[in-house]
Structure 1
């Protein structure tokens, strides 16, 4: 259920703006995650755009797919690649925190850029949904019992 809830929050998190930038009294375009990546890319900040894309788009999507695969493999009691699946689970637990990069960046920018005469950055609804999605995905990874990988394989190999 945690994984489903995380995936459901992830969709509007990418559709709603994560921040709004006001510069010199003018309200700029609200930025979504992908919009921010595209703006960074257009401005020539290819390395930053790549890091934000990986941490905010590729990593969460890959984590959803990998966790769903682990859950299905345990449900179907498959015995293939048990060691690799256990390693994948450990890896998912470790990298889960990197998806909070966007939330950290918006929080830092929002607190540092508060000069109302020059500019202001305010967080949008998308960043809160994204943070919720990341937290739920981390809970989903931590609540998965990797011993089930081994138990399911042993149960399917013992004769009845």
Structure 2
């Protein structure tokens, strides 16, 4: 049984349980006064919008240079993949693997995972709610590791600044990549996981 089947609504601000009233969308929390909804309004539409925007920005994030390392006045801009290849050529395989997983595998998995989750819910695909919940929790868990490249670039730009001798300059790819990470994190936040449990035999279409 879902909470909504028992006539209960949870407040997103203070997590107080409230008895459901007749007028949907006009109810306030009895403790903190925040708006209370059975499901987050337009959750799927907002998540799709953030996800599609992130997918569009993911293209320049991989094609544009993410940073340029200048040594003695000379430097060559590197994309994420060219940086991984360069690390491999210098024998730094563990670092290359970390960068590849954090910058390529994780964002790609998040984009595909959230899209599959939304599609399975909207189209009522044969996937158990427990499988969807595990997928959603895993997407939330790996999201924090997507910012590894951005943190590394921010530290290098601040530390390696010796004028014409050596410097590191961030590229437009770093901005696009950071936007992808933030948008996918927001997409996971705007998604209402309670919609997973609506795709059962007791589906009330609260989308």
Alignment partner for residue 22 of structure 1, among 63, 70, 77?
A: 70
**Rg bigger for which structure?**
2
- SS, match of residue 116 in structure 1: coil
Q: Hey, what's the Cα distance between the residues in 2 that align with 1:153 and 1:43?
A: 53
2:87 is the alignment partner of 1:87: no
Q: Hey, what's the Cα distance between the residues in 1 that align with 2:125 and 2:193?
A: 13
Q: Hey, what's the Cα distance between the residues in 1 that align with 2:164 and 2:64?
A: 26
Higher relative contact order (CA 8 A, sep 6+): 1
Q: CA RMSD in A?
A: 1.4
Shift of 1:38: 0.5
Q: Hey, what's the Cα distance between the residues in 1 that align with 2:173 and 2:166?
A: 21
Q: Hey, what's the Cα distance between the residues in 2 that align with 1:81 and 1:152?
A: 9
Select the structure that is richer in helix: 1
- In structure 2, runs of 5+ residues without a counterpart are 1-48
2:58 is the alignment partner of 1:10: yes
Q: Hey, what's the Cα distance between the residues in 2 that align with 1:44 and 1:50?
A: 11
Shift of 1:77: 2.1
Confirm or deny: 8 A CA contact 2:147 2:181 kept in the other structure.
yes
Alignment partner for residue 88 of structure 2, among 31, 41, 44?
A: 41
Shift of 1:144: 1.1
What TM-score do the two structures reach when normalised by structure 1?
A: 0.93
Q: Alignment length, in residue pairs?
A: 156
What TM-score do the two structures reach when normalised by structure 2?
A: 0.72
2:170 is the alignment partner of 1:132: no
Confirm or deny: 8 A CA contact 2:67 2:79 kept in the other structure.
yes
Q: Hey, what's the Cα distance between the residues in 1 that align with 2:127 and 2:76?
A: 49
